[in-house]
Structure 1
Amino acid sequence: MSADPATRVPLGTGVGSLPGTDQAAYDEGVRVVLDELGGHERGLPFLPEVPGRGVTAAMTGRGLAVLAELGADLQPAGWRLTGGGAESSGVDHRRARSLLAQDLDALEERAEGLTGAFKVQVAGPWTLAATVERPRGDKVLADHGARRELAQALAEGVATHVADLRRRLPGVERLVLQVDEPALAAVAGARVPTASGFGRHRAVDRPELAAGLEAVLGAARDAGVEPWVHACAPDVPWGLVRGAGARGLLVDADVLGPADLDELATALEAGEVVGLGVLPSTDPARDPGHEQPTERVLRLLEVVGLDPAEVAGSLVITTGCGLAGASPAWARRALLLARSAAAGLG
C-alpha cells in the first residue's frame, strides 16, 4: 500500500545491484542492505541483485524468472522465448527461477521481523522486449503481438511475485516495486539494433509504450504495491511513465536535462516520489560525505523552484545506477551515505 505523502520522510536506498560473483556475495549483500537500511527510519531496504553470478542472476534473467506462462531458454546470442508455456523452459530459465527462489529464502531468513518499507526490482516490459528474442529470431520488440504477450505475462508474474514477498515479509507495511527500464528511451527513440546489427527497430508509438507499462504498473497497484520506474538513461519520456501509472521516478541526476527537471518537479508537486541518483555507482576518487549529495539535491530543488520543506517527504536518495561495478566497501558506504543524506534533507 502506498504511504500517505503527508507522513512520508526522505529515504535512502540502492538501485538494486551489488558487487560479487558467487552466492556468498549475495548473502553478504543481504546482510549489508539490512544493516545499512533495514530498521532505520530513513532507510529503504531492497532485494539485492548480484549479476556477477552469471546470466541467470543478471537483469534479463531475473526478469524472465518472474515471467508467468512463458518459457525461455539461453542461446549463444542471448535469451530467447521458446514459444510454449512455462513447461517449455530451458535449463537456464529453470535455473534463473530456482536462483530467485533461493535468494528469496535467504532474504526471508535474515529479514525476520522486518517492518516498515521494502523495495523489490524487476526488469520492465520494454527492456525485456529489447533484449529477449522471439522463438524464430530477432527481438520481441519486432512483433506487436509478442510485445503485448510479454507485457501481460510479466504483469501476471509480478502479481504472483508480490504475493510471495508479502508471505515472506509479513511485517512490511509499504512494499515498492521498482520497474527497471534502462532501454525505454532507446525503444521510444528507434535506437535498438536489429539482429543483423545493420538496422534499428522502428520506434514503438507512445500509446503502446504506455499500455505495456500500464499492464505491469497496474498489476503492482492492484496488489497494493507502490509502482516506481527506474531508468538511468537520458531522454526518458517521464511524462509518459507518469501517465502509465508510475508513482515514483528514479533517475540518474547526471543525465537530467531541463525537460526532465520540469517533469520531476511536476511529480513532486503532485506528491509523487522522486528518487535522485546523486551518489556515484562506482568507487569515487574522493568520498563525498553525506553533505555533498544533500547539497546537490537542494541545488536541484532550487533550480526548479521547489521548497525542500514542502517536498522532502517525497524524495529518495540513491546512486545513479546499480552498484555491481563498485567495490564491496563502496557499495556499503554508498548505502550509508544515501541514508545519511536523506536524514540531512529531513
Structure 2
Amino acid sequence: MSQYPWGEATATGIGSHPGEDHAEAVRVAFGESPALPYLPELPARGVGADMIGRTASLLLELPVEVQPSGWRFADRPGRDFKRARDHLVRDLDGLEEVTQGYEGPFKIQVCGPWTMAAAIELRYGDKTLADPGAVRDLVDSLTEGLAAHVADVRRRVPGATEIVVQIDEPGLPGVLTGTVPTASGFGRLAAVDRQIVADRLGAVLPAGTFTVVHCCAPGVPFGVLRMAGVGGVSLDAHLMRRRDEDAIGETVEAGTALFLGVVPGVDARLPDVDVVAAPAVELWRRLGFPVSTLASQVVLTPACGLAGASPAYARTALATCRKAARVLQDDPGE
C-alpha cells in the first residue's frame, strides 16, 4: 500500500481559481483533478476571499480588519472578518452538495503562520513578525482554528479517505533571510532562527492529516520543512536551481512527496504532455532515484494558483497536469 493518500499518476491544483462562481470552480476542481480534488479559492470576490483574509477567518479570539495598509488585528470582529467567514462558510456549504457520494483523498489550503505573521499588522505597531509573543499567539490561534476547520471538512465530506492540508508559505524564505519589510516599508525585520520557524510551523500541522507546504518563491527551505515534519513540499519546478538538488534529494530520500508546478498559472501556450512532465522525469533521473517511485511520490500541479488565468485556461492547465501525470507512470524512463 502506498504511503501517500493518492494513487499513482496524480495531479491537482494549488487552490485559487479565476472568477466568482464557486460552484463552477468546484466542478472544475473535481472534474479535472479527480485523483486529488480540492476546495477552490476565488480571490476575485474581494476582501476576505484573499489568502490572508480567508485563513484569518479561522483564527480564534484574534479578529482582523482591513486598513489602507492591509490586514490588521482588531479589538473585536467587524465587517471584514464577517465577510471572510461568510465566504468560507458558503464555499463549504456548496462543497457539501457537490461531493455527495465522493470517496477519495481531498485537499484544502490555508495560509501558513509565517506568511500570516509577515503580512498582518498588530493593532498599534509593526507587523506581527516583529513580536515573538504575538507570533506565538497567532500560531496557537491558527492551530486551534485549523483543527476545527479540518473537523468541519471531514463532517461535510464524509467520503474523504484522507484530508490533505496544504499550508501556503510564500513568505517563508523572506522570514528566514530577514527580507520582510517593516510596516513603514523603510526597514527590514530581523531573520528568524530556523529551529523556531520549524517548531512554530510544525505546531500548526493538524494531526491525522497529510500536510504539504506550498512555497512558490525562490529558495524553498527544504531542511526547515523536513524539521517541521511536513509530508510534502510544493514548489514551482521552473524555480528549482541545480544547487538546490542536494537538498531536494535528501527530501525525496526521506519519503517526502513533491508537488511540482509544471505549467504556468496564467494563460500561456502549453506544450505536449511529455514536455510538461519532463522536469519531474529529468529531476528523478539526475538524482538517481528508481523510476518506480516517481508516479507515486510526485504530484503535478500548475506552478502557482490560477486566480490570474482565464476560466478556459484554468481548466486546460489542470487537464494538462492530469494527462502529464500519466507520463510519469507510463513511460518514466524514456
How far apart, in 2, do the equivalents of 1:116 and 1:264 lie? 28
Q: Structure 2 regions of 5+ residues with no counterpart?
A: 330-334
CA displacement at 1:99 relative to structure 2: 1.0
Which of 220, 225, 238 pairs up with 1:236? Answer: 220
Larger mean Cα displacement after TM superposition, 123-132 or 237-246: 237-246
Q: Secondary structure at the match of 1:260?
A: helix
Q: TM-score under structure 1 normalisation?
A: 0.91
Equivalent in 280, 283, 291 of residue 308 of structure 1 = 291
Give 1:149 shift. Answer: 0.7
Alignment of 1:79-98 (within 5 A): 79-83=71-75, 88-98=76-86
Residues 141-188 of structure 1: CA distance to partner in whole angstroms, max 9, x if unpaired? 110100111011111111000000000000110210000000000111
Decide whether the 8 Å contact of 2:26 with 2:95 is kept in 1: yes
CA distance in structure 2 between the aligned counterparts of 1:3 and 1:146, rounded to whole angstroms: 40
Identical amino acids, percent of aligned pairs: 47
Give the count of matched residue pairs: 329
| Contact 2:117 2:138 survives alignment (8 Å) | yes
Contact kept? 2:48, 2:81, Cα under 8 Å? yes
C-alpha distance in structure 2 between counterparts of 1:106 and 1:5, whole Å: 27
Residue in structure 1 matched with residue 271 of structure 2 by the alignment: 288
2:44 equivalent to 1:52: yes
Say if 1:232 and 1:321, in contact at 8 Å, map to a contact too: yes
From 59, 65, 74, the equivalent of 1:67 is: 59
Say whether residues 1:252 and 2:236 are aligned partners.
yes
- Assess if the C-alpha contact under 8 Å between 1:16 and 1:322 holds in 2: yes
CA contact (8 A) 2:263 2:270 kept: no
- The aligned counterpart of 2:250 is 266
Partners of 1:4 and 1:303 lie apart in 2 by 23
SS at match of 2:57: helix
Change beyond 3 A, Cα 1:297–1:311: closer
Q: Give 1:89-238 correspondences, 5 Å limit.
A: 89-217=77-205, 220=206, 222=207, 224-238=208-222
**Deviating more after overlay: 225-234 vs 204-213:** 204-213
Letter in 2 for 1:62: R
Distance 1:209 1:276, change over 3 A: same
Task: Kindly report the root-mean-square deviation, in angstroms, between the aligned alpha carbons of the 2 structures.
Answer: 1.6
Deviation of the 1:26 alpha carbon: 1.9
**Does the 8 A contact of 2:14 with 2:301 survive in 1?**
yes
In structure 1, C-alpha distance between the alignment counterparts of 2:247 and 2:153, rounded to whole Å: 31
Residue ranges of structure 1 left out of the alignment (5+ in a row): none
Relative to the length of structure 2, the TM-score reads 0.95
Question: What is the one-letter code of the residue matched to 2:9?
Answer: P
Q: How many angstroms apart in 1 are the aligned matches of 2:295 and 2:88? A: 34
Report what 1:279 is aligned to.
263
**1:6 Cα shift?**
10
Give the superposition deviation at 1:253: 1.0
- Report the Cα offset of residue 308 of structure 1: 2.0
User: How far off is 1:320 after superposition?
Assistant: 1.0
What one-letter code is carried by the residue in structure 1 that aligns with 2:66? L
- Quote the offset at 1:259 in angstroms: 4.0
SS at match of 1:335: helix
Whole-Å separation in 2 of the counterparts to 1:174 and 1:307: 26
